[in-house]
Chain A
Amino acid sequence: MPTADAMRWINRKPSRVLAWVLATLPFIIVFAAYAIGSEIRLSVNPADKLLPAPSQIWETALRLLTEGDRRSGRILFWHDTAASLRRLGLGVGIAATMGLVFGMAIGLLPYMRATFATFISVLSMVPPLAILPILFIVFGLGELSKVALIVIGIGPFLIRDLWMRVTEIPTELVVKAQTLGASSWIIAMRVAGPQIMPRLLQSVRLSLGPAWLFLIASEAIAAEGGLGYRIFLVRRYLAMDVILTYVIWITLLAFLLDLLLKVLTRALFPWFGEKRA
C-alpha cells in the first residue's frame, strides 16, 4: 500500500479542524496585512486618514451603531440599513415574481415563447446603469426609481434563467402529467411550479450580487438615506473608518442573505438536491 505521502493531491483531504483553520486563514492574512499597512502609515503621519487603525474603526463602528444623530436623534446606521434593505427586498421580490411568472409562461407555452423570447433576450442586453438617468427623470428621485433599477437590472436575467430551468424539466414528467389528466394550468401549478421554486431561490442567490450593485449605485447618485448614500456622503470627508464599517456591514448582510436563502431552499424543498427520481 502506498504511504500517505505518495497519494495524489486531488485525493488528500484536510481534517475537520485543519479545514476550519484553512478557512479562517485568508481572513487573518487580509486583516494582518491591513493592520501592518495601517501601522506603517500612521507611524509616519499620525493624522493619516487613508488606513485608519483597526481599533479606530472599532470605536467608530460602536459609535455608529449606538449613538443617535445630533440633529434628528435617529441612529443613522440602522436607519440606513432599513432603507436599503427595504429597497433591496422590494426590488428583488418584484424581479423574482416577474421571473417566476414570465419564466414559467415562456418556458411552458409555445405562444408566449414565440412572442417574448427574443424580446426578453434583447431587453436583458440593455445596460441597466445606462438607463438610470431615464429612471430618475421618469420616476423622480424617490424610492420608485431605485427599486425600478434593481428590477430592471436583475429581472431579465431571472426571467431567462427561470425559463431555461422550466425547459430543463424532463419532458417525461410533463407527458406523464397529461396522461393523468392535468390541464395546462394544473401542470404549471403542480408540476412545473413546484419543481422550479428551489431553482428560483438559487437564481435569486446568484442575482443578489448585482442587486446590491444597482442599489448602491442608485443610492450613491440620489437618495436621502441608505447604506450606499452614506458611503458616498462621507467620502467627501475621507472618513475611511465610516466607509469601512459600512462596507463590512454590507458584506455581512449579503453573506447572511445568501446563507438564509440556502437554508430556506434546503428546509422548504427537501426533495431538491438529492438525486433526481
Chain B
Amino acid sequence: MSFVTVSNLRKDYGPRTIIENINVEVEEGQFISLVGASGCGKSTFLRLLLDQERPTSGTITVDGELFSGEPCQTRGIVFQRYSVFPHMTVRANIVAATAFTQGTWGWLFGNAKKQAQAEAQSTLDRIGLGHVAAQYPASLSGGMQQRLAIAQALAAKPRILLLDEPFGALDPGTKLSMHGFLEQLRVETGMTVFMVTHDLEEAFKLADRVLVFDKPKWDPDDLEKGGATITYDFDARNDGIPFQTLQENTNVFKSD
C-alpha cells in the first residue's frame, strides 16, 4: 500500500478542466518534482494535495485516509512568496509552529515559551539564521526568507512537504545552497516531498521521480480545451543517471 494515492483526480474551474485522469502512487519518503508549462495544473495539483481546494472528482488519500476539507499539519507548505509572517520576528516565526497549536490564544508562556524559543534558536543556528533571530523577515534576503519558510514548515513536523516554486525567485548561487539545505533536511527527516518547479535541472537533481504535466492532446481550434494530466513519470534517482545510461547505451552521445 503506497503512502499517497491519487486516483482519477480531476479539477474544473467553471467550464474549464485544468487537470484530469491523474493517477499516482507515491511511497513514503519519496521526493517528487512536478514540472510542465505554465498553466498546466501543477500548482492546482499541489493545492489539491494541500486540501486548500477540493477536487471536482477523484480522490487523494494519505496513509489510506481521505482529506478533511481544509489544510492541516500533515502537509506543510512553502510558497514562492508570502510564506513567512511579516509581523513576527524570525525566531517567532519558528516558535509559531509550536505556539499555534497551544490553547485558545496561540501564545506560549513560562517554561514552555522558554523551551520553544531555545529550540527555535538552535534550529536557526543550524540553518545559519541564528544571527538574525530578532529581526523581521523583511530585512532578510530572498534566500534567507525561503530557508526560514522551509524551517518553519518543518517545525510543525509534517509528513509531507509541499513546495510551490520555492526557489523560483532566487539567484543561481543561492539556489544551489538551498538545494544542499533541502537535501540535508530530507536525509534528517525522511519526509515525502512534492516540489513544483520550472527548472528541469533542479527537478532531476533533487527528486526521485519527475512527473511531467501536459495535455495529452491539443485541440488546434481551442487551446483551452481539455485538461492536463501526467504525461511522463521519470525515474530521477542518482540525479537522473538511469536516463543518461539509457542514452549512452543507445549511442546517442557517441562522439567519435
Contact = CB atoms under 8 A, between A and B. Distances in A.
The answer to whether A and B come from one shared complex is yes
B138 A275 contact: yes
A5 interface: no
Contact of A276 (B76, B86, B88, B104): B86
B136 A176 contact: no
B58 interface: no
B87 interface: yes
A150 to B, nearest CB: 29
B82 A179 contact: no
Interface in A158-187: 170, 172-173, 175-183, 185-186
Give chain B's interface secondary structure class: loop
A55 B52 CA distance: 70
Nearest to B78: A176
B23 interface: no
B158 A179 contact: yes
A179 B104 CA distance: 17
B73 A181 contact: yes
B87 A271 contact: yes
A173 B50 contact: no
A124 B231 CA distance: 54
Given A186-B100, A276-B82, A276-B86, A181 B156 contact: yes
Contacts of B99: 190
The residue in A181, A182, A275 that gathers the most chain B C-beta atoms within 10 A of its C-beta is A181
A172 B140 CA distance: 19
Contacts of B205: none
B70 A178 contact: yes
Contacts of A180: 73, 96-97, 100-101, 152, 155-156
A183 B137 CA distance: 23
A189 B106 contact: yes
Contact of A182 (B84, B100, B138): B100
Given A191-B85, A277-B86, A277-B145, A179 B75 contact: yes
A81 interface: no
Contacts of B96: 177, 180, 190
Contact of B100 (A177, A275, A276): A177
Nearest to B164: A172
A267 to B, nearest CB: 14
Interface in B134-180: 136-140, 145, 152-153, 155-156, 158
A186 B105 CA distance: 6
Given A172-B79, A173-B85, A190-B106, A274 B101 contact: no
B81 interface: yes
B127 interface: no
A54 interface: no
Interface in B37-71: 50, 52, 70-71
Contacts of B77: 175-176, 179
Contacts of A179: 50, 71-73, 75-77, 153, 156, 158
Contacts of B76: 179
Interface in B99-116: 99-101, 104-107
A277 B72 contact: no
B157 to A, nearest CB: 10
The residue in B70, B73, B85 that gathers the most chain A C-beta atoms within 10 A of its C-beta is B85
16 contacts: A178-B71, A179-B50, A179-B153, A179-B158, A180-B96, A180-B97, A181-B72, A181-B100, A185-B104, A185-B105, A186-B105, A190-B107, A270-B136, A274-B138, A276-B138, A277-B138
Across the A-B interface, the 7 shortest Cβ-Cβ residue pairs: A186-B106, A277-B137, A182-B100, A172-B82, A170-B82, A181-B101, A277-B86
